[in-house]
């Protein structure tokens, strides 16, 4: 057997370079790059390997480990999970900084390869710098924190362990069912240790999207249920995107005349003005979407994990006799809410359903009602997003201005706070890849690195990072990375002087405004320090404008789109209003005992709201 002598780190990098993927008939590198912040634990072994391979796989320098993992995750999401990035860090804080990002990827079923450095496998110099010592178990290191937030986890304690671990890692990253973050902890001494690897281990490997077919008996049951429906709905989740099933879904609902509702991850499966697109349901639901759910007799849930914002914490008002069909590649999701499971690939499943339903159609009156309700909602959208000369515009008015400025292929990126509500209800998505909301983990600070990841995936699109001042304070460093790499993003920063979304939720639960808006926080005698976000963003290298009102925002957006460099627009907004129309209930537990009358009243309302909750 022919062998080649390489260090473990060299073998790892060479194996990643050998992985290819077929997309639209074109063969591309599976790994588009590696994001790295070098430090104790990876500055020698994998650093040397990446330098030697820099012509085959680019290494990008970031400024925060969590941020760089967000870049990689957003890149994978923007590529419908078909192209990936890896991230490497040092032993201690660099590694644990990525744990939050790993959790985000795990919740959202998104692939990212995490390669944190680790302490010495030999333990010869223990305790080394940044080592977390455990008195009861010397095998535990900081990297064990990744175990519960990784789909696959391994510590490579011998160079030859790569031979079995790497194929499993790649298979997990590309598995439509088990897709998610993979963590390979790399002890720094083993990174540098050599081994005679089989040459065939590094042969190019071409990967293709795997499409598991549905079971014939499950298909027959699903067809029997759907063919009897008089008021069917299709609920489209992120799995529709990842299966490349957008065209199949459009053909299916057009043929069978079925209204479609979109989840946060599924938004964009149909253009906003498609005759079958009826908006959204649940907490961020439209009046049209939630009204239709209340009447539907069959809900075909395709590629969704049915999170609480979609189901209004399991209180979505399905009609008493309504049935659900769960078309999902993951059995874990297909059986939720006592659904009739249809386990398989979304595209194949929709095609199989369509062929068996043949000429069956839902009554035209049902789709007609959906279109009538949706038209009324769109009139409301026009009103609430219209330009205004108010000094402190609402989030909805800002979203309207950005949406009007956005081109057909441009992408908003958001993750937390008030804006996901406005975006889900109000943003008019024109393109299948024209919406990017991370709301599985709702991670503040994802917006800027997420926008950079999307821009790296789609350099022909303008990408808007939409965020509040609270999220910006948590994670802003990758704005510099975008400038450094020449990948322009447009940041629209809404300064509402605190955590306005949680401030509103706090009061809904009966609590007094407390520790969320800056005016309600403890502060010194000099008061609340003024934060000049425009000056800060300029210091990070972006072109910057501070605007007052919607008219100035609209003019600035034109300049931002014409700019070759990352552009930040800061605008003061009103922290109080939020679009409440259409939304369903969200289960946030209210204290059962309190001295405050407001809390006791909120608890009474809470108990009433829980009554329809299905468990």
Tens digits of per-residue pLDDT, 43-74? Answer: 999 999 999 999 999 999 999 999 999 999 99
Question: Are 527 and 484 found together in one domain?
Answer: yes
- Label residue 318 by pLDDT band (50, 70, 90): confident
> Does a structural domain hold residue 591?
no
Same domain as 367, residue 438: no
Q: Does residue 378 register a pLDDT over 80?
A: yes
Residue 545: closest CA among 525, 561, 529, 528: 561
Asked if 367 and 401 sit in the same domain, the reply is: no
Q: What is the pLDDT of residue 185?
A: 98
- Lowest mean pLDDT across 127-141, 271-285, 424-438: 127-141
In a domain, 139, yes or no: yes
Residue 424 confidence (pLDDT): 97
0.85 exceeded by the pTM?
yes
Name the packing angle between helices 395-405 and 549-562 (round to 10°): 30
User: Phi and psi dihedrals of 316, rounded to 5?
Assistant: -50, 130
Sequence-ordered list of residues with C-beta below 8 angstroms from that of 492, at least 6 positions apart, any chain: 398, 402, 464, 465, 466, 467, 553, 557, 569, 571
What mean pLDDT do residues 583-590 have?
A: 91
151 with 296, same domain?
Answer: no
Q: Are 251 and 202 members of one domain?
A: no
Inter-residue contact 405 to 428 (CB < 8 Å): no
Compute the average pLDDT of residues 430-452.
97
pLDDT for 267:
98
| Per-residue pLDDT tens over the stretch 268-289 | 999 999 999 999 999 999 999 9
User: Mean of the pLDDT values across residues 200-229?
Assistant: 97
613 — pLDDT class (breaks 50, 70, 90): confident
Residues in the chain: 615
- The C-alpha atoms of residue 413 and residue 212 are separated, in whole angstroms, by 31
What pLDDT does 530 receive?
87
Q: For residues 436 and 334, what is the distance between their CA atoms, to the nearest angstrom?
A: 24
Phi, psi of 492 (to 5 degrees): -110, 110
| Residue 6: C-alpha distances to residues 187, 419, 602 (Å) | 16, 49, 64
Q: What is the pLDDT of residue 543?
A: 98
Give a yes or no: residue 604 inside a domain. Answer: no
List the structure tokens of 155. Answer: 């510590």
- Integer Cα distance of 455 and 480 in angstroms: 14
Question: Is 228 in the same domain as 186?
Answer: no
Helix segments in 417-463, DSSP class H: 419-426, 447-457
Specify whether 428 is located in the same domain as 542: yes
Q: Are residues 246 and 273 in the same domain?
A: yes
Compare 611 and 256 and report the one with higher pLDDT. 256
Question: Which of 207, 227, 255 is the last residue in one of the domains?
Answer: 207
Q: How confident is the model at residue 234 (pLDDT cuts 50, 70, 90)?
A: very high
| pLDDT at position 434 over 90 | yes
Does 615 score more than 80 pLDDT? no
Residues 159 and 202 in one domain: yes
Q: What percent of the chain has pLDDT over 90?
A: 92
491: which 2 tokens? 């940041």
pLDDT tens-place string over residues 522-579: 989 888 888 999 999 999 999 999 999 999 999 999 999 999 999 999 999 999 888 9
Q: What is the CATH number of the domain that holds 152?
A: 3.40.50.970
Q: Nearest 10 degrees: CA dihedral of 136, 142, 147, 152?
A: -130
- Lookup result for tokens 């706090």: 506
Which of 538, 555, 572 is the last residue in one of the domains? 572
Residue 614 has pLDDT above 80, yes or no: no
Q: Which domain holds residue 19?
A: 3-207
Q: How confident is the model at residue 320 (pLDDT cuts 50, 70, 90)?
A: confident
pLDDT at 431: 95
What CATH code is carried by the domain that includes residue 222?
3.40.50.1220
In a domain, 522, yes or no: yes
pLDDT (average), residues 79-90: 98
Q: Tell whether the model's pLDDT for residue 135 goes beyond 90.
A: yes
User: Which pLDDT belongs to residue 84?
Assistant: 98
Same domain, 202 and 222: no
Instruction: Say how many domains are in the chain.
Output: 3
Establish if 49 belongs to a structural domain. yes
**Residues 426 and 564 occupy one common structural domain:** yes
Name the packing angle between helices 419-426 and 364-384 (round to 10°).
Answer: 130
* Mean of the per-residue pLDDT values of the chain: 96
How far is the C-alpha of 398 from the C-alpha of 421, rounded, in Å? 13
pLDDT computed for residue 29 by the predictor: 98
Task: Report CA 244 to chain centroid distance, whole Å.
Answer: 17
Domain boundary among 320, 343, 376: 376
Mapped onto helix, strand or coil, the DSSP state of residue 591 is: coil
Residue 361 confidence class, pLDDT cut points 50, 70, 90: very high
Residue 104 within any structural domain of the chain: yes
Question: Residue 19: helix, strand or coil by DSSP?
Answer: strand
Segments in 79-227 forming alpha helices (H): 93-96, 99-108, 162-174, 188-191, 216-226
Question: For position 321, what pLDDT does the model report?
Answer: 82
Residue 178 in domain: yes
* Contact criterion met (CB below 8 Å) for 575 and 499: no
Asked whether the bond before 303 is cis by omega within 30 degrees of 0, the reply is no
Is 613 a domain residue? Answer: no
Q: Locate tokens 């990758």: which residue? A: 478
Q: Are residues 546 and 426 in the same domain?
A: yes
């Amino acid at each position: 057997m022919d062998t080649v002598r390489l260090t473990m780190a060299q073998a790892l990098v060479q194996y990643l370079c050998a992985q290819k993927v077929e997309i639209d008939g074109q063969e591309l590198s599976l790994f588009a790059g590696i994001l790295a912040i070098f430090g104790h634990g990876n500055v020698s072994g994998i650093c040397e390997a990446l330098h030697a391979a820099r012509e085959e796989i680019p290494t990008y320098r970031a400024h925060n480990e969590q941020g760089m993992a967000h870049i990689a995750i957003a890149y994978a999401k923007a590529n419908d999970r078909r192209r990936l990035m890896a991230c490497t860090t040092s032993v201690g804080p660099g590694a644990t900084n990525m744990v939050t990002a790993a959790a985000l990827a795990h919740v959202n079923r998104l692939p990212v390869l995490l390669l944190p450095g680790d302490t010495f496998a030999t333990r010869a110099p223990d305790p080394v710098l940044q080592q977390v010592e455990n008195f009861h178990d010397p095998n535990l290191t900081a990297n064990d924190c990744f175990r519960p937030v990784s789909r696959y986890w391994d510590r490579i304690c011998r160079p030859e362990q790569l031979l079995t671990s790497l194929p499993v890692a790649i298979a997990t990253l590309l598995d439509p069912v088990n897709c998610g973050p993979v963590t390979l902890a790399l002890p720094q001494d083993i990174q540098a240790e050599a081994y005679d690897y089989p040459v065939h281990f590094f042969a190019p490997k071409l990967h293709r999207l795997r499409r598991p077919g549905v079971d014939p008996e499950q298909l027959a049951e699903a067809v029997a249920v759907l063919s009897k429906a008089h008021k069917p709905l299709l609920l489209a989740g992120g799995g529709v995107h990842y299966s490349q099933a957008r065209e199949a879904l459009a053909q299916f609902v057009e043929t069978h005349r079925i209204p479609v509702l979109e989840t946060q991850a599924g938004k964009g499966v149909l253009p906003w003005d498609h005759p079958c697109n009826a908006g959204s349901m649940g907490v961020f639901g439209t009046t049209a979407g939630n009204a239709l759910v209340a009447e539907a007799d069959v809900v075909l849930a395709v590629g969704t994990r049915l999170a609480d914002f979609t189901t209004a914490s399991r209180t979505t008002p399905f009609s008493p006799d309504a049935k659900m069909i769960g078309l999902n590649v993951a059995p874990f999701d297909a059986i939720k809410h006592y659904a009739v499971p249809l386990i398989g690939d979304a595209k194949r499943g929709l095609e199989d359903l369509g062929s068996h339903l043949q000429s069956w159609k839902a009554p035209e009156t049902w789709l007609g009602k959906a279109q009538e309700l949706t038209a009324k909602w769109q009139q409301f959208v026009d009103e609430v997003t219209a330009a205004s000369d108010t000094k402190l515009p609402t989030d909805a008015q800002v979203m309207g201005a950005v949406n009007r400025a956005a081109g057909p292929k441009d992408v908003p990126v958001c993750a937390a706070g008030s804006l996901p509500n406005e975006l889900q209800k109000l943003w008019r998505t024109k393109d299948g890849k024209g919406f990017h909301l991370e709301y599985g983990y709702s991670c503040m600070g994802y917006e800027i690195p997420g926008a950079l990841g999307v821009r790296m995936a789609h350099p022909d699109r303008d990408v808007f990072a939409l965020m509040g001042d609270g999220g910006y304070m948590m994670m802003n460093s990758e704005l510099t990375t975008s400038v450094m790499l020449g990948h322009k993003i447009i940041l629209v920063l809404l300064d509402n002087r605190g955590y306005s979304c949680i401030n509103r939720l706090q009061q809904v639960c009966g609590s007094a405004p407390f520790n969320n808006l800056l005016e309600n926080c403890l502060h010194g005698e000099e008061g609340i320090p003024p934060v000049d976000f425009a000056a800060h963003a300029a210091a990070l290298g972006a072109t910057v404008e501070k605007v007052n009102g919607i008219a100035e925002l609209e003019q600035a957006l034109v300049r931002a789109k014409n700019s070759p460099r990352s552009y930040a627009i800061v605008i003061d907004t009103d922290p109080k209003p939020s679009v409440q129309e259409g939304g369903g209930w969200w289960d946030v537990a209210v204290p059962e005992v309190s001295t405050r009358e407001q809390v006791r009243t909120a608890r009474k309302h809470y108990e009433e709201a829980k009554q329809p909750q299905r468990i």
